[in-house]
Amino acid sequence: MSATKKNIFERLLANEVIPMEDPDYGDVRVAVEETMGLNLKLNNAEGLDEVRKYLGEIIGTEVDESTTLFTPFYTNVGRHIKLGKNIFINHACSFLDLGGIEIEDNVMIGPRVNISSENHPTEIEKRNMMVPQKVTIKKGAWLGANVTVLPGVTIGENSVVAAGALVNKDVEPNSVYAGIPAKKIKEL
């Protein structure tokens, strides 16, 4: 029995390192172009219901009416973003989601937050490879203004990440993290 070949998006979600010369990499470029058109509509929407409609088209599933997104909002593909309920995403956030971004219920995300589930190796000869790693934001978490979350990070339940922090390692539940790189400064 032969195994069915996974498409590039399934491979990315499985954290497979993908060289940009991969024969299927063009599918990513096509998806980015489609999302660019939807992002334009989303960022020119005239109300929150219309924003949720276009966000749902970008991520490929209906966005719960309890979720609020203030535009502008940016994502490269969007189909690997999973949203729970009662989420607030403030202005000018950017989500790079090829490795997967999951945001659970009751999460607050401040303005200018950047979440990336994608990276590249530092070695020059390997730098043209995509290294995907899922980012998970657990329920009840709050990311302050201008936080950056790097690939592979889990933000623990009910935790707070202070404004301006750079999160490169997991955040424990019920904790406050701050700084560059983010470090635990207290428990809640």
Residues designated as active site: 120
Cβ neighbours of residue 133 closer than 8 Å, sequence gap 6 or more: 15, 99, 117, 119, 151, 152
For residue 78, give both structure tokens.
């969007």
- What is the distance of C-alpha 52 from the center of its chain? 16
Cβ neighbours of residue 56 closer than 8 Å, sequence gap 6 or more: 62, 63
Residues in the chain: 188
Give the separation between CA 138 and CA 85, rounded to whole angstroms.
Answer: 12
Q: Which amino acid is at 17?
A: V
Q: Is 74 helix (H, G, I), strand (E, B) or coil?
A: strand
